[in-house]
Structure 1
Amino acid sequence: MNDVVLYEIDNAIAKITLNRPNKLNAMNAKLVEELGRRVREAAEDDSVKVVLVAGAGRSFSAGFDINDEIEDGTETPRQWRPVLQKDISMTMSIWDCPKPTIAVVQGHCLAGGCEVAMACDLVVASEDAVFGEPEIQYGSGPVTLLMPFILNQRKTRELLFTGDSIDAQSALEAGLVNRVVAASDLDAAAKDLALRIAPTPLEVLRLTKQTLNRAYEAMGLRHAVNSNLEIGSLINGANTPEQQEFDAIASEKGLKAALAWRNERYDSQATS
């Protein structure tokens, strides 16, 4: 069986790759655990100065694997809290990594996948990348509330209330990504950026990352993330009729059918 997360080191650059390409790198429990472990490994390795986070195949990540939650029967706020806590811990391990991190994004970068990218210090995206947090359309909410600290208030509220996605150029204009390049140039562009950073002494990189993170945390980032865990557990455990219908369709007909039902609800409103 293939590893769900790949790890390699080359010239002081660690590359961590989400490796469920047939599932658009949807993050199941095993991938969440392995991703967090590899991030910690890179953080503790003094030969590593920069960390790349990438996705195998045609997408970076479509988010957390909904099938996990449906199969586990997760419903109540009490049941949701430990699930969300594990997901948040993984995302924040990237935020807390003492070395610069660069998300290398192509295709879908949605929901929890978008949060992983936002937890990175820098984002290089291909022209076909699509960003968004569509959780509200599932009757859910962002797991790790990072977007208010990355984008301006108006754009954050628009994206989180609607669940809409934006293309790579719009993400660049909004400040969500640093660079947009052709798909064929993505890996080279990310590596070039990492090599621009790598000559800096490791201790200087660590201290610079620390002071930047402290600036955001002084603005309340970590408090917001922790508060969102409690509220998110309530949202996911609200068990609204729409949530029940989505789960029922997914259980009986599969996730693809449930997503089609959800999309029809929102598309019909947009065109009415």
Structure 2
Amino acid sequence: MSLGDHLHKPVKTVAGLELHYVHDIAIIVMDRGENRLNTQFLDGFNELMDDVESNPSCKGLITTGKGKFYSNGLDLDWLSNLSSPELLQEFFTKLPRWLLRILLFPLPTLAALNGHCFAGGALVAFAHDLRVQNKEKGWTCFNEVFISRQFQTWHYLYLKTKIGSGHNYTDAIVMGKRFTGPEALDSGIVHAAPPMSLLLSESIQLLKSFFGKSGYPRDSLHLMKSDVYRDAVEQYHKDMAGVEASEIKFDANIKSSL
């Protein structure tokens, strides 16, 4: 994937994550291979989101990847080699907190899906307000059913607001359907499916079509998202109350199923 036509030198790079600006839109580029989720990834991403949120002139945030993957979900190899239950609990506390931050971020957000977007990576994409998917290559897929994993309850609630509760929902969540860009667009779960060469430019144009010249009042946007996703937010707090060290069994069987 080449972003050179749109992006030049990043203003900041942390752990293989780059922060760029195209006028008043921030773009976080994930350049970590499969962009799998681990603590280093989350800490770096949160640091860049802090920078975006502290920039008063920024009006929107786009996230995208380089190469074949937007994100291939949890870093299973890294998880299987953690040395203590405390580190495992730390990760499974930080991950949902980060997803919630994206869901309620006080700027409009767009996931520009350059390539494969699987499992936890799909949870990330659907925490964004908008999604644009490369029509030429890559699948979007909630493949948890194939790897014997379940979602947290609050995930189901916010996914229903993004996907709907009809056959798209059962196709995506129960059956683990792999959506190409054109299929995702036809199903209404992404907002556009341009060729890779236009992915970023169309993503910028789409995001700007919502906020216009002035942008959204940040407090108002955050409150609106909090209201719209109220059920998911309330369930998030219930789910997280159960994430305790005593409940995350640190043994070979659990680690092999992550």
TM-score range, shorter chain: 0.7 to 0.9
DSSP-derived class of the 2:213 partner: coil
Per-residue CA deviations over 1:99-132 (Å, capped at 9, x if unaligned) read 1111111211111211111111111111123112
**1:59-78 matched pairs, under 5 angstroms:** 59-72=69-82
Query: Which of residues 106, 131, 136 in structure 2 aligns to 1:98?
Result: 106
Task: Decide which of 205, 228, 243 is 1:192's aligned counterpart.
Answer: 205
- For 1:126 and 1:6, the matched residues in 2 are separated by 20
Equivalent residue number for residue 141 of structure 1:
150
Alignment equivalent of 1:111, drawn from 119, 123, 132: 119
The percent identity for this pair of structures is 17
Runs of 5+ unmatched residues, structure 1: 251-272
Task: Give CA-to-partner distance per residue, 1:164-183, whole Å, 9 cap, x none.
Answer: 32222232233321111112
Write the distance in 1 (CA, Å) between the matches of 2:71 and 2:233: 24
- Say which of 52, 55, 69 aligns to 1:45: 55
Structure 1 residues 239, 169: closer, same or farther in 2, change over 3 A? farther
Matched pairs, number? 240
SS of residue paired to 1:166 = coil
How far does residue 2 in structure 1 lie from its aligned partner after superposition? 7.7
Q: Does 1:177 align with 2:186?
A: no
Instruction: Provide the rounded CA distance (Å) in 2 between the counterparts of 1:172 and 1:228.
Output: 32
Bigger shift: residues 224-233 or 119-128:
224-233
Q: Name which of 155, 158, 162 aligns with 1:150.
A: 162
- Would the aligned equivalents of 1:84 and 1:233 in 2 still touch at CA under 8 Å? no
TM-score when scaled to structure 1?
A: 0.75
Task: Using the TM superposition, name which of 78-87 and 225-234 deviates more.
Answer: 225-234
Distance in 2 (alpha carbons) for counterparts of 1:66 and 1:20: 15
The answer as to 2:224 corresponding to 1:216 is: no
Structure 2 unaligned residues grouped into runs of 5+: 1-12
What does the per-residue CA deviation read over 1:161-209, in whole Å, with 9 as the maximum and x for residues that have no partner?
A: 333322222322333211111122111111222343454324x342552
Of 237, 240, 249, the match for 1:226: 237
Question: Is the Cα contact below 8 Å between 1:81 and 1:230 reproduced in 2?
Answer: no
Q: 1:139 to 1:73 in 2, by over 3 A?
A: farther
In structure 2, C-alpha distance between the alignment counterparts of 1:87 and 1:133, rounded to whole Å:
17
TM-score, L = length of structure 2: 0.79
Letter in 1 for 2:237: N
Q: Is the 8 A contact 1:60 1:105 kept in 2?
A: yes
